[in-house]
Structure 1
Amino acid sequence: MNEVPKRSFAQRFHLKLVVWSVLFIVLLCGSAALTGVNWGEFFSNIGQFFSLIGKMAHPDWKYIQIVIQPVIQTLQMAIVGTTIGTLIAVPFSVVAARNLVKNPVVRGIIRFILNLVRTLPDLLLAAIMVAIVGIGPSAGVWTLAIFSFGMISKLFYESIETIDDGQLEALRAAGANYFQIIVFAVLPQVIENFISYFLYTFEINVRASTVLGYLGAGGIGMLLQQSLDSFNYSQTAIIILATLIVVLIIDGLSNYLREKLD
């Protein structure tokens, strides 16, 4: 008698699986048709991908000496940009938190600003900054700072909203002011999350700075642009390998530090 419900559940599960699979295929095919995706052209030209890989299979190892300085510049851009964005994000996230600011109008204005900043893609920000401050690492730093500000501020205020409100009420009852509440009740509860979010954003910025440099925002991305424009794929291979090594090192260090914080 116990086998009937099991079969019924299995039948319902398979039915849902079939329905969702069919729906996914219909949406995929419909989206491809609306956007003009040519599957046949993609698979017929896939040989060009392997041809490009073959051209990069013989890296120009002498080019490493030229790559080192741009890699260091890329890291510096990510560090400075992430730090500036984080410092600006902290006061905004405090004002945007529902449990710290009860006025919905003030909170709504701050969140609108944060949503607006996050709406701007980093490539667009890089193009704007290159137009404002010119080609070079300064454009990359300010692009990463604005990008970091938008992302970290959201992570920060969401983290603040999950803290124990008991400590806030205790300090308010004791007559503490707004600044004292933040320093003695909020920061001790969220500081580990803040550091973790900072490291996570730094990882993203190291990867993003490579692409931003392709638009003239400094870093190793500018070398990537030059090597691709000149079809010098042996140098492109060195740039990709250097970027990969840096990303792996940063990722490993960030994971190690986050584990220590837990």
Structure 2
Amino acid sequence: MKSDTNLADSTPIPSISPSSNYLITNGLGNTKRSKRIATWMLFIVIIVVCSIYIDVTPYQLFVGLPEMGVLLKEMFPPDWSYLPTIWAPMLQTIKIAVAGTILGAIPAIPAALFSANNITPNKWLSLPIRTLLNLVRTVPDLLFAAIFVAVFGIGPFAGMLALLFFSFGIIAKLTYESLEAIDPGPLEAMTAVGANRIQIIVFGVIPQALPAFISYLLYTFEINIRAATVLGFVGAGGIGLLLNQSLGLFRYDRAATIIILTLAVVLIIDYTSTSIRRKLL
């Protein structure tokens, strides 16, 4: 009597013919192609439906193009004599962004520590803070600025407060996500030798999370420079206030000067910030 092993060895293994293999491969390819086509069709249908809903037509685009040409003609050449007037508001815009970013980053540190599950495993503490961060991030910076202008009046203070809340929400969110991704090895080793919670945070958590935190700080500052330019439209100070006035008075040549200066400042800050972040990460 043959053993089970011999029976298994003698059992022929069915082979797949080349034609069957082709049919299987071709069928899988057709399935992927059908899914891809269906996805693109769904995407196109969504665009068409949304365009119809908000009354967007190609006719509006063709009608607006000549008007855009007229506007560009009125913007150029820019009024370079307006530069001495806009230097001070431009510096004010940068100060608003700097103050809002730094003051928002300070409370973001403890908020991130209390939100990270591996640092604060207590759900009763981390969950309310995460909910608060979600609520803060759902409010646009322009809405924050409009609220603070109504409360504190027109000026840069309202703009700084708006960017403070915006920076707090985004930096805390990104930081606590990076905290949850740190290497748990050093933390476990420190716990094994009897380190307390504060020592673990200071010597185990912060050294790992600091480069990412600085990167998020610089990234938020880049966003705030652009945001601070627009906050002036609701009276929150900065260069946006002069830009709004120039557009209201149809001085598009002055508006072009403001836009070019703002673009130059933003590009310089973005380049500097990106270089620093590359060295840190």
TM-score range, shorter chain: over 0.9
1:58 partner amino acid: P
Query: Does residue 221 of structure 2 align to residue 205 of structure 1?
Result: no
Instruction: Give the Cα separation in 1 of the matches to 2:25 and 2:67.
Output: 51
Q: TM-score, normalised by structure 1?
A: 0.95
Deviations 1:98-139 (A, max 9, x none): 101111121110101100100111110000111122111111
Instruction: Give the Cα separation in 2 of the matches to 1:258 and 1:69.
Output: 29
1:40 partner amino acid: Y
Deviations 1:198-223 (A, max 9, x none): 00000000000011111111110001
1:82-161 matches, within 5 Å, as 82-161=101-180
Larger Rg: 2
C-alpha RMSD of matched pairs (Å): 1.6
1:235 partner amino acid: R
Instruction: Give the Cα separation in 2 of the matches to 1:181 and 1:223.
Output: 50
Query: Does residue 52 of structure 2 align to residue 33 of structure 1?
Result: yes
Give 2:205's aligned residue. Answer: 186
Q: Matched residues, percent identical?
A: 47
Instruction: Give the Cα separation in 2 of the matches to 1:56 and 1:16.
Output: 48
**Correspondence for 1:243 among 242, 249, 262:** 262
**Correspondence for 1:170 among 186, 189, 213:** 189
Instruction: Give the Cα separation in 1 of the matches to 2:123 and 2:222.
Output: 34
Deviations 1:164-196 (A, max 9, x none): 112222222333222221111100001100111
Give 2:94's aligned residue. Answer: 75
**1:8 Cα deviation (Å)?**
4.7
1:190 partner amino acid: A
Number of residue-to-residue matches in the alignment? 262
* SS state at 2:78 partner: coil
Give 1:49's aligned residue. Answer: 68
Q: TM-score, normalised by structure 2?
A: 0.88
Instruction: Give the Cα separation in 2 of the matches to 1:131 and 1:212.
Output: 13
Instruction: Give the Cα separation in 1 of the matches to 2:33 and 2:262.
Output: 44
Instruction: Give the Cα separation in 2 of the matches to 1:55 and 1:192.
Output: 46
User: Which stretches in structure 2 are left out of the alignment for 5+ residues?
Assistant: 1-17
